[in-house]
Amino acid sequence: MFNYHNSSLTLTSKNEYLSTKLTSKVNRQLQDPIVIMMGRIPSWITEMGYTCSFLFPFETRQMI
């Protein structure tokens, strides 16, 4: 039988999955005046926001 108390299980932090480069790119796109005026967020941003939301911090996910 496996003893959980003696095992050395390493969990990863949620922050290890955040992509700072991708987040800054998305934030720049979402703050672009042309994108704001036209109200058209690029499709790759919405797709990434739904399929890979773990890559972005909460504040960025709210804007997507």
Give the angle 19-23-29 at the CA atoms, nearest 5°.
150
Q: Could you tell me the two tokens for 46? A: 């919405």
What is the number of other CB atoms lying within 10 angstroms of the CB of residue 16? 7
Q: Are 53 and 59 in contact (CB under 8 A)?
A: no
Q: How far apart are CA 15 and CA 19, in angstroms?
A: 9
pTM exceeds 0.85, yes or no: no
How much is the pLDDT for 10? 62
- Give tens-digit pLDDT for 1-49: 555 555 566 677 777 888 899 999 999 999 999 888 888 889 999 999 9
